Structure 1
């Protein structure tokens, strides 16, 4: 029987992250500096296009678009891998509308390292699923983004990941905890040590997630507060954590 507390020779310890509607928490875990934000599915939005049907691309543009609806943006983070022009590499659902179809093709690069997956918010809450499972039982999907590779599915680390890999890079991802909360994680670019993919997946397991998805790499950013209005990298989809409605 698989012992999830001892996987690939790494002893996993429980790390608590409180549910927050504020700024991300900065923590050093296993020698890597991370930004962590745990929130409820109701607070999460995924956007790609604005009111003029043009890609939003940057954090200031996404904030302006979202706050025009009367709500307040608390945190923004880039979403999944994208193609030139900011076109998502796979599925993108925004406000209940499919703006880009699911991508089941084979190819090169992280997005196509099968199994890849989809992060979604539906009427039943948040989920990270294998692309081959889409849409499955998930009806009335409010927002979704496809990326890859899957980090975790049913508490199992992606079979292609190597615990001894020397590929240590800046990364961000999203997981869903066993109690249904959404957990966003990004390494700190200035961390003296960066994670390989196996370590990044293991972190989500440590933090109570059974399912998690890699979002992107070197250009990843997570910002809150006054930082939201500053120039950001250009992205495809953008994930927002909104202030709960009164």
Structure 2
């Protein structure tokens, strides 16, 4: 099987401090493009304690010398903030891969994994993990897959009336990471088929659904404002190679 690690050479995309607000087919989204080198998956701090809120995630990143620009909640999780599946942080696997069957979005097979490896970023089918010869630094499993190799999840229906607040993550053909979330005040929400097509319209061949109603994406001063608990976070940090 040909795996879609595409253009793992350095992206030329400039760093963005905050998401762009964009209306697509009547749905308002927050969209952020980032280099793979800027993206982190975080769940625990250096003492092994769970990171549950946006301020805690911001403090952790600052404490290890990073400059957080945007944070978004990560994949689906179980009670007490435990990831439903694989989570890797700073090259350490903190929670194992989950290929079990069950009910709910996470188990709507195929589900998938977003990862950052030594060859760049990728979204893959969970059954493809681990990838031969790839050293993974960050990864989070969620579900369902929105796109894989340019194809929409086989169980999605364009006519579905299940329209909800959603967030997800994808990887473009040139290796850029794309974070997207519906605006909580959007006059219209997408169904899963439409959400998958959003990522396709942004140039993503592969994309993953992360979560639903609770989803948040924060930048700037909002990073330190209190929040409810989450299971993990995807962070976009300041590009250390960016020229001032």
Q: Same fold (TM over 0.5)?
A: yes
**Structure 1: tracts of 5 or more residues without a match:** 1-17
- C-alpha RMSD over aligned residues: 1.0
- Alignment counterpart, residue 46 of structure 2, candidates 40, 51, 54: 51
Q: CA deviation at 1:63?
A: 0.6
Contact 1:171 1:216 in 2 (8 A): yes
Q: Does 1:166 align with 2:140?
A: no
Contact 2:170 2:177 in 1 (8 A): yes
- Alignment counterpart, residue 217 of structure 2, candidates 222, 226, 236: 222
Query: What SS is found at the alignment partner of 2:80?
Result: coil
Contact 2:86 2:95 in 1 (8 A): yes
Q: CA deviation at 1:136?
A: 2.2
Query: What SS is found at the alignment partner of 2:60?
Result: helix
Structure 1 equivalent of residue 141 of structure 2:
146
Structure 1 equivalent of residue 10 of structure 2:
none
Whole-Å Cα distance in 2 between the matches of residues 113 and 212 of structure 1? 14
Contact 1:48 1:94 in 2 (8 A): yes
1:101–1:32 Cα change, 3 Å: same
Q: Which moved more, 1:19-28 or 1:172-181?
A: 19-28
- Alignment counterpart, residue 184 of structure 1, candidates 174, 179, 191: 179
For normalisation by structure 1, the TM-score amounts to: 0.91
- Alignment counterpart, residue 66 of structure 2, candidates 39, 64, 71: 71
- Alignment counterpart, residue 22 of structure 1, candidates 17, 21, 27: 17
**Structure 2: tracts of 5 or more residues without a match:** 1-12
Structure 2 equivalent of residue 40 of structure 1:
35
Task: For residues 60-113 of structure 1, give each alpha carbon's deviation from its aligned partner in whole angstroms, at most 9, with x where no partner exists.
Answer: 001101110122100000000000000000000000000000000000000000
Structure 1 equivalent of residue 91 of structure 2:
96
Contact 2:15 2:239 in 1 (8 A): no
Q: CA deviation at 1:148?
A: 0.2
For normalisation by structure 2, the TM-score amounts to: 0.92
Whole-Å Cα distance in 2 between the matches of residues 193 and 75 of structure 1? 24
Structure 2 equivalent of residue 7 of structure 1:
none
Contact 2:27 2:187 in 1 (8 A): yes
Whole-Å Cα distance in 2 between the matches of residues 70 and 127 of structure 1? 25
1:19–1:184 Cα change, 3 Å: farther
Structure 2 equivalent of residue 61 of structure 1:
56
Query: What SS is found at the alignment partner of 2:88?
Result: strand
Length, aligned pairs only: 229
Q: CA deviation at 1:125?
A: 0.1
Q: CA deviation at 1:231?
A: 1.1
Query: What SS is found at the alignment partner of 1:85?
Result: helix
Q: Does 1:86 align with 2:81?
A: yes
Structure 1 equivalent of residue 101 of structure 2:
106
Task: For residues 161-184 of structure 1, give each alpha carbon's deviation from its aligned partner in whole angstroms, at most 9, with x where no partner exists.
Answer: 010000000000000000000000
